[in-house]
Structure 1
Amino acid sequence: MVGYDPRADGRNVSNLEVAVAGSVSGLVTRVLISPLDVIKIRFQLQIERLSRSDPNAKYHGILQAGRQILQEEGPTAFWKGHIPAQLLSIGYGAVQCSPSWCTGPACATPETSPCILCVAACLPVWPPSPYILWTCYAPALQRRVYKTLRNAVVTMYRTEGPLVFYKGLNPTLIAIFPYAGFQFSFYSSLKHAYEWAMPAEGKKNGAVISPNLGKSCCSWMVMGEPRREEYKMQSFDAATQQLLKTALKDPGAVDLEKVANVIVDHSLQDCVFSKEAGRMCYAIIQAESKQAGQSVFRRGLLNRLQQEYQAREQLRARSLQGWVCYVTFICNIFDYLRVNNMPMMALVNPVYDCLFRLAQPDSLSKEEEVDCLVLQLHRVGEQLEKMNGQRMDELFVLIRDGFLLPTGLSSLAQLLLLEIIEFRAAGWKTTPAAHKYYYSEVSD
């Protein structure tokens, strides 16, 4: 699809695979619409009006034209001249599906990249141009001027010379720039409008909204990740910022175990960073895999997560904020780090254990831990249930008991627990009625 980014959904897809996918999509599309193109060209070439009232009109409607062509020329007539058209559509499909081919500041927005526009504009001038061949060959078949595509190329070359393949090129080039530009620009504009109307944070599992505990209970905010291009590095010193930027671009040039420790240490101190650190870790792992085919960073990251997991009770006793940050971070890592597009099994039980700890009575009496529990279930609950449904049942027994026996439970904590119980009961979705009940303050 136009402007597709294979990294946006956590998949490890190469540029070649994306280009092949785009080409195949162009091929299939052209096969499906070719009959309509043939009929369109016949309509354009017919001098008489497209009307039943004109006795000289051979075609006067889509269905009638289709039947006429089928009777006179057979079913293959709808795909004659198909090969040059196919070359053109495959080229467009490959270009539109491969924004990662373009690099540099001018290509920061793939949908409007000048690289893509230039390549799209150059497609009609391939020698010999598939576009010109198609427009000449397809209508000529009606009059049996050319027997085959090869015959059309040879005959046109012999009779009119090489410039015949570029007849009408000037208006084509004049038209293709605004055509391609408008196509990508409108796509980009509509995409941004959709993201404004439906933020990415609210699309993953319905409306994932949580109370902002730093404000009053009637103040709400949507929780989720910022744009892919942005990472919260402002709180690092200049040297650490440079270290992380280098790890993202050239992981072989830095000590990746040190990078893993830096990210974990900062995640335990900064709740904002812990909510998006998984995305940064995923980007570093992908970069390392492409550059060296190794997993030094992932190994170092998992080792640190294991160490902190084993000392989770001490961490909670030492710093409630650090504990909440750790749970947020490990759930973020679980959400992003995948093997064959599946969550890592090694993280399933540690994540469950952390959520079980948040569901204990002493944790439910603290709004910070209740908020963390609900947020992480919104984020990874459905994935966890698919990996181990029995443990999810046990977890929600604790949550249900905590809601029904609200010893020391605040009204906000009760509301959050009720919301997550209903969220799971509805198939990990927020029903319109539930959204109106729980999040009515958002519109205010």
Structure 2
Amino acid sequence: MIMEAGVGVVVEGGQRALKSAHGTVVDAGTRKFLQHQQQHDHSKPSLGPQQSQLGTLSQLLAGGIAGAFSKTCTAPLARLTILFQVQGMHSDVATLSKACIWREASRIINEEGFRAFWKGNLVTIAHRLPYSSVNFYAYEHYKSWLQSFLGQVNQRGSTSADVLVPFVGGGLAGITAASATYPLDLVRTRLAAQRSTIYYRGVWHAFHTICREEGFLGLYKGLGATLLGVGPSIAISFSVFESLKSSWQSERPNDSTAMVSLACGSLSGIASSTATFPIDLVRRRMQLEGAAGRARVYNCGILGTFRHIIQSEGFRGLYRGILPEYYKVVPGVGIVFMTYETLKMLLSGIPTS
């Protein structure tokens, strides 16, 4: 039997596809390769799938609940981090004992009670709901705008664009969210930093006292250090999360989305915290500057505060409290991303697998 056929050989990763006049014949190796490529393409972008099916209100709700839930789960470690960060601010560094998480936790339980681990958590939730909502919402929109601006097509797979878009979008989203909710963050820090002596009796009392004693601008004390730290922190967090999740799903597309988000979010939290912890420590101390009627310690801006800490406490002083920070961000950031991704799929009616 004689058939007229035009046969073309296409080399693709060492595989061959034979095209006949009556159809397309693909050998087993090529079929497997194409299936792998299709799965890889479907796994990108990793954050923000089905965005068009999710309304603005639902997207804001998903981000807000994710942030509040994560902060409540990790509130004890967050308070321990703050207490360690401010050690040495009003004390002789030479007299400070070596930081011990369990000893400090025991002190809090004995002196203040178990509920003290959640001191300031109400204002934390009041801060985190709008902060996380704005953060995720702004990130999705900044990312879309950057993709359009750069002329990026998802299927093109540009490595540089894949890294640049979440990094820049995350940084801009973090700055936007932090600027919009900063006074709540400052009040939360001051409530959490209180020990046995109570100076601020609650959220509204703290707002009123700060405005009366330090002026309205006192609510924005340390904003510069905050923006300097939160931009890179959120940028690193989103870009690492995006990259890890994309790689994971391209290799193991059948794994649970929630578990992948939890694992990748935890690793992204470690990366961002390590890179930006010194800035966060300076931010905390500047927020507490002049709090509770105490004398001012740092009168020299962000760089001067860095210099003062290094001179008085050494370079290691910039990482005071990093251990409880790690204990906090590993579950904390992972829970945020896992909850956000899960809520987005639930609210848009997509199976969570």
- The interval holding the TM-score normalised by the smaller chain is 0.3 to 0.5
Q: Of the two structures, which has the highest relative contact order with CA contacts closer than 8 Å and spacing of 6 or more? A: 2
Greater Rg by CA: 1
TM-score using structure 1 length: 0.38
